[in-house]
Chains A and B, each alone.
Chain A
Amino acid sequence: MRKFTFILMALFMGTIAKAQNDYTKSLNGIQWVKIDSKTDIVVKTHSANELLIKSGPEVKTPDRAKGLKLVGEGGTDNTNVGFSVVQDGNTLIVYNLRKNKGAEIYLPASQNIAVKSTWNGDIEIEGFSGEIEADAQLNGSIKLMDVNGPVTANSLNGALEVVFGKVTQSSPISLYSTNGAVDVSLPSNTPANLALSTLNGNVYTDFDVQADDKDGLKSVLGRNINTSINGGGVKISMKSTNGNMYLRKK
């Protein structure tokens, strides 16, 4: 009997501990989830139709902060995991208020997500079939694994790496980086119209594409390649101003 009580207590404690580290919110009526962070952010899929924020076991509020709320640019911490979550119409806005700890966020695979890193944070998104917008505004890199698109991604100094599953044909894909490399992998049978351009970088690919120099016209934006693969399809536009570009068959 004592043993049983002990196990029960342990389970109870476990639940409480878990509840302290996780935050969930239902996604009913939500079309877009916008995530704004200064630090690393990892977005993964799960099967429940809810937002789940895991800030990891190492999260510790300083002793001095007992009874106080974390306040940041995006508002005050209303989640107890260092995030501010606000609903605006059909959009859920998720601010990471902390400046030194990364976080894992779980969403259903079909969710449309927009992730913005405003400082050094790297963005990593994996396994989503909905629409993805990723913007690394300063030094962060972007890594999108096993996504279907439409994807709109932009990085300033970090690398932009995208690995596509089957590419959704409904609306354009746009991948730009100013100083980082643009590295994209597509299934080899993807039908698409490609527009690749770099100013100071080079383009490397194992797809059958050729630089377009019709009428000997020199492009305004350095090297431009416009071509269609597998009979043409959705428009995929890739641009790197100073970095190299890599387009791979998967």
Chain B
Amino acid sequence: MEKNHVFDQIPDYLDGNLNKSAKTAFEKHIHQCADCQKEMEEMKMLFNLFEEEVPTPSSRLRAKFESALEQEKTNQGRVVQMSGKKSSNWTGSALKIAASIALLVAAFQMGSLFQQRKVSDDIAQLQEETNQMKQTAMLSLMENQSASKRIQGVNYIEEFEQPDEAIIQALANRLLYDENDNVRMTAFEALANFSSSETVKNAFIEALGQEKNPSIQVAIIQALVQIQEKKAAEPMKKLLEKEDTQPFIKNQIRAVLPSIT
């Protein structure tokens, strides 16, 4: 009989879900089988426990919660009042405001300082770039087919406070090799402002040896005499010997030659 335990039917029996014949068979078995009876008793206890343990909040609990909430609310209110009291201490808060303003200003100053440094860097870079552009424009103008444009290129020298070697060399080439007298003269005038440069001195001496235009000859002679350039004596003597040198150039050379030899 033990083999026919009815454990699986216990929950259905307890819930009253078994039909009549099954119920009779079940009760009959329970009476005879101690195991099943015991099992049913335990399960019944468990079921009862479930039913008892579902808690429902009592009205007392609710009242307790309400009062706790009230308590908390009044505590909060007190904090607000305390801070209100502190604000009446105006020196302290003024100091705080001052400190925060100071902090703000300092931060602003720092920011603007960095900004400024960046801007001045940018300006320096821009200036460098415009100088480069000017130099390129100047050098390309000096190669133009039109003499007037080449003169314009030479005049660009006024834009540079300290022209670099490339510009000086380009001007020297104009003085030495340009086919147009006006361009050579303008190049000479531009270079005369930088007569302390060794490149310029050498260009003047070379130009004096080959220049045909008397106006440029006399200008170069005067510039070289003014900087007391000893090396100028040789090309001047050669000009004196030349037949086609203009008389006023010869007179000029005779007048200045003693001062540099």
Tell me the A residues contacting B by CB distance below 8 Å: 31-32, 91, 112, 114, 131, 133, 135, 149-154, 156, 171-179, 199-200, 220-221, 235, 237, 239, 241-242
Contacts and interface: CB of A to CB of B under 8 A. Distances in A.
19 contacts: A91-B145, A149-B148, A150-B149, A151-B148, A152-B148, A153-B182, A154-B182, A171-B152, A174-B147, A174-B151, A176-B182, A178-B214, A200-B248, A220-B222, A220-B223, A221-B219, A235-B155, A241-B214, A242-B248
Contacts of B151: 152, 171-172, 174, 237
Contacts of A221: 189, 219, 222
Contacts of A151: 148
Name which of A173, A179, A221 has the most chain B CB atoms within 10 A of its CB.
Answer: A221
Contacts of B206: none
Interface in B198-219: 213-215, 218-219
B218 A199 contact: yes
Given A154-B213, A171-B146, 10 more contacts: A133-B147, A152-B183, A153-B182, A154-B181, A174-B148, A176-B181, A176-B215, A179-B214, A200-B248, A220-B222
- Looking at chain A's contact residues, the main secondary structure is strand
B226 interface: yes
Interface residues of B, number: 26
B135 interface: no
Interface centre among A114, A154, A175 (most CB of B within 10 A): A154
Contacts of A220: 192, 219, 222-223, 226
**What 4 A-B pairs have minimum CB-CB distances, sorted nearest first?**
A150-B148, A174-B182, A152-B147, A154-B181
A101 B180 CA distance: 26
A241 B249 CA distance: 11
Interface of B: 145-149, 151-152, 155, 180-183, 185-186, 189, 192, 213-215, 218-219, 222-223, 226, 246, 248
Contact of B181 (A114, A135, A149, A173): A135
A235 B182 CA distance: 14
Contacts of A176: 181-182, 185, 215
Given A135-B181, A176-B181, A178-B213, A150 B155 contact: no
Q: From A153, A171, A175, name the one whose CB has the most chain B CB atoms within 10 angstroms.
A: A171
Q: Is the interface of B mostly helix, strand, loop or mixed?
A: helix
A173 B246 CA distance: 26
B154 to A, nearest CB: 9
Contacts of B186: 174, 237
- Which of B148, B185, B215 has the most C-beta atoms of chain A within 10 angstroms of its own C-beta? B148
Nearest to A133: B147
A216 to B, nearest CB: 16
Given A152-B182, A220-B222, A131 B146 contact: yes
A219 B66 CA distance: 105
Contacts of A237: 151, 186
Contact of B148 (A31, A131, A154): A131
A216 B189 CA distance: 20
Contacts of B192: 220
A32 B145 contact: yes
B152 A172 contact: yes
A133 to B, nearest CB: 5
Contacts of A175: 182
Contacts of A242: 248
